[in-house]
Amino acid sequence: MKLKVKGMEKKVDFNPSVLIIAGFTGKDRASAEAHLKELAEMGIPIPEEIPSFYPIEKTLVTQGDSIMVTSSESSGEAEPVLITTGGTQYIAVGSDHTARDLEKISIAESKGACSKPLSADAFEVDFVRKNWNTMSLRCYVERNGKMELYQDGPVSGLTHIEELEKKLKKSNPEIDMSESVMFLGTVPLLTGNFVYGSRYRVELIETVSGQKISHEYGVSIRKGEN
């Protein structure tokens, strides 16, 4: 896989050995607990601890422009993505595309059921750390032939990168993150419910300078599935 670092004439080759999806990473504990209560009411099993970390098959991360899913009930969501390779870190933007019909059985299983789209462009991690309070996530979804805004919220509502790394190390000390990809969490949906669209675009924006990285991908259902 390759990354082009924003603002630099630099391209990075990387081959992750670990893929982690971090969930329930909002730093407002009351909001996180309210969300867990909503999930429980929908019959979705909730984790014992938050944030939660889901190691999934590393081959699920993709920089392609389309993914194949096994159910019509799957949806994406924009997330900053921490990439660690060769002793250096970068922040890309990706989509934690998830099989929503499987969530009532197992959140971990639902996370591992779909490919995880990832941008080819990335910011240096220090740029994102420095501008954490002015970074924003957006996601658009295609419905009825139109791209509609689906998510739009500040990254500052998420647990900061260093704190999340500490929590991961404490809860999963055996995982070697030296060559890794970790999705860092997402912002609320503007619709209040999942939209199962045919195309998604995710963006990570530094709102003062307007610098942006993005990735767009289509979704198709595997033949014979519904």
Residue 146 DSSP SS3: strand
What structural domains and CATH numbers belong to the chain?
Answer: 2-221 (3.90.850.10)
pLDDT over 90 at 39, yes or no? no
pLDDT at 117: 98
pLDDT at 45: 75
102-128: per-residue pLDDT in tens?
A: 888 888 889 999 999 999 999 999 999
Q: Which residue in 23, 41, 5 sits closest to 185, CA to CA?
A: 23
pLDDT at 222: 82
60-109: per-residue pLDDT in tens?
A: 999 999 999 988 899 999 999 999 999 999 999 999 999 988 888 888 88
Distance CA 175, CA 167 (A): 12
Distance CA 201, CA 91 (A): 17
Q: Give the pTM.
A: 0.93
128-184: per-residue pLDDT in tens?
A: 999 999 999 999 999 888 999 999 999 999 999 999 999 999 999 999 999 999 999
Beta bridge partners of 214: 203
DSSP assignment of 49-115 equals SSSEEEEE-GGGEE-SSEEEES-S-EE--EEEEEEEETTEEEEEEEE--EEGGGTTT-HHHHHTTS-
